[in-house]
Amino acid sequence: MREIQASQAKTHLLQLLDEVERGETVIITRHGRAIARLAPEGDARQAEIDEAIASIEARRRRAASITVDEILSARDEGRRP
């Protein structure tokens, strides 16, 4: 992964896109601060998917087990008899 100033990215956009197409990830910076990331589409999407799955699994591990009766009771709470 490499970093490039925004002004240079503007000048060399086509070259950067070629690099990204070959699998490289490029971070675009402004005043030394990262402002954008150019990444191959498949890799970026897969990273989002992996992060979402990890988040769901972590939440499941933290959550207490709940029974069907507890679910039905919560559903019916506040309903008229």
The per-residue pLDDT for range 6-36, each reduced to its tens digit, is 999 999 999 999 999 888 999 999 999 999 9
Per-residue model confidence as pLDDT tens digits over 54-79: 998 998 888 878 888 988 888 888 78
Q: Which amino acid is at 18?
A: D
First to last CA, the chain: 63
Q: Which of 70, 64, 9, 77 is nearest to 38 (CA)?
A: 9
Q: How far is CA 26 from the centre of its chain?
A: 17
Look up residue 3 and give its amino acid.
Answer: E
Walk me through the domains of the chain, giving residue ranges and CATH numbers: 2-76 (3.40.1620.10)
